[in-house]
Amino acid sequence: MIIAVTGTNTDVGKTVATAAIASVLARRGVDVVAAKPIQTGEPVGEGDAPTVRRLAGVETFDNWRYPEPLAPNLSARRAGIATPPLAEVAEWVRALDRPDRVVLAEGAGGLLVRLADEYTLADLARELDAPLVVVTSLGLGSLNLAELTCAQARAQGLQVLGLVGGCLPAELDLATRLNVDELPVVASAPYIGSLPAGCGALSGQRFADAAERALGRGVEALLADAPAGLDSSA
């Protein structure tokens, strides 16, 4: 099964959330890999896929790479690099899937960021028939961004499996404290959990334990409610 991971914006904790979900799934015996089809602004050997591998200890894959840290279509255009067609990117992700495996396919930025001039992550998810996990900010303004992202996803025929709070500070201001409870209401999606600020600096067992505390129960519910093909007994 393929799950697409998107965010309500850039820098909301999408990569760390992908690693945390992978860690929680692996802890339950699920065969899980992570894929970053398109990476910008990082040299070969660095970027989101290696970060997920370091944090979660799972196998990761990446492919297309553009030099500047911009929306992929803009980075590719400025570098004079031809972007692959949607079908080619979808086939690359699909080739990683197999029975009883979960592929976490991480996008770039938000749902409608252009991976190429002709398509977005929403288009890729639809091509793959992949449901979404939406990683959201938690501070003031986050309710609007999360609701817009989930509403647009559904308008494009996509299923939203749930929300992950990408960075929960140790000390909560009023907006953040209220938003954690309000996000699943306005977005009409289950709240998987909130990742504590700074957990991306952990590694090994410490990261696995933090991911389990933050997302374990929510991922268990996701496993129970997910479409056929996501099997915690794998």
DSSP state of 71: -
pLDDT digits (tens, 9 = 90+) for 180-216: 999 999 999 999 999 999 999 998 899 999 999 999 9
Q: What is the pLDDT of residue 224?
A: 78
Nearest C-alpha neighbor of 13 from the set 109, 161, 107, 135: 135
The band of 234, judged by pLDDT with boundaries at 50, 70 and 90, is: very low
Q: Could you give the 3-state DSSP secondary structure of residue 16?
A: helix
What pLDDT sits at residue 221? 87
The CA distance from 233 to 225, in Å, is 14
With vertex at residue 7, the alpha carbon angle to CA 6 and CA 10, rounded to the nearest 5 degrees, is 120
Whether the predicted pLDDT of 231 surpasses 60: no
Per-residue model confidence (pLDDT) at position 173: 96
Secondary structure of residue 142 in the 3-state scheme: helix
**For residue 76, what are its two tokens?**
């590719």
Q: What are phi and psi of 161, to 5 degrees?
A: -70, -35
pTM score of the predicted model? 0.93
Q: What is the pLDDT of residue 227?
A: 61
Which residue type occupies 103?
A: V
pLDDT in tens, 138-177: 999 999 999 999 999 999 999 999 999 999 999 999 999 9
Which of 3.40.50.300, 2.60.40.1180, 1.10.3720.10, 1.10.645.10 is the CATH number of 2-225? 3.40.50.300
- Give me the active site residues, please: 36
Compute the mean pLDDT over every residue in the chain, rounded to the nearest whole number.
94
Give the largest Cα separation in the chain, rounded: 47
Residue ranges of domains in the chain: 2-225
Report the pLDDT value the prediction gives residue 134, as an integer from 0 to 100.
Answer: 98
Cβ neighbourhood burial of 28 (10 Å; 0-12, 13-18, 19+): middle
Round to whole Å and give the CA distance between 11 and 86: 25
Residues 64-122: tens digit of each pLDDT: 999 999 999 999 999 999 999 999 999 999 999 999 999 999 999 999 999 999 999 99
Determine the 3-state secondary structure of 87 from DSSP: helix
pLDDT exceeds 60 at position 233: no
- How far is 16 from 198, CA to CA, in rounded Å? 10
